[in-house]
A = this chain, B = another copy of it.
């Protein structure tokens, strides 16, 4: 529970995150991360026994950051429509920022580790939880028609996820434009989803 060690760990995680998101996980060496902080790789390996654990820490941080950013914004939204808008925005900004990471993580060896899978699952669950909550609230207020909140949430997430995957497939280096396109598509889809979900007595 020492504060200092946590500080140092956080610094390392942040440095790793910068490297990972800029150059990718595979092309980042522990020595480089250490150098960025004027440390040696042995110090690094004192705090994180191996690369996997460092990657896990980065993924964990990212997951928490994402949820902590998204949750209040969605909960503060005054309508389902506005909340879904926020979802795309936040998802988009994160995706753009940490694109490299997202792209590589799933292909890499690391992705098969339990720890990674487990964080991925946590993320998915939390995101789904937010959506379920949102939909249920929407039904309660009458904005949405009666629906299976879980199933609908899963479908929406899977759809957005499917779209993101398409960007990275296109080529080795993903361009800004491809991003914009995907983001735009996602927003359109959300819009259409919403049309299909809202109570029919409401106006657009």
Contact = CB atoms under 8 A, between A and B. Distances in A.
Nearest to A151: B188
A173 to B, nearest CB: 16
A185 B159 CA distance: 9
Contact-residue bracket for chain A: 20 to 34
Interface string A135-156: 0000000000000000110010
B158 A185 contact: yes
A106 to B, nearest CB: 8
The oligomer's copy count stands at 2
Interface stretch (A47-55, A75-83, A115-123, A190-198): A190-198
Contact of A155 (B152, B166, B188): B188
Given A155-B188, A159-B185, 4 more contacts: A106-B169, A155-B192, A165-B166, A200-B200
Nearest to A152: B192
A192 B185 contact: no
Contacts of A196: 192-197
8 contacts: A152-B192, A155-B185, A159-B162, A159-B185, A165-B169, A195-B196, A195-B197, A200-B200
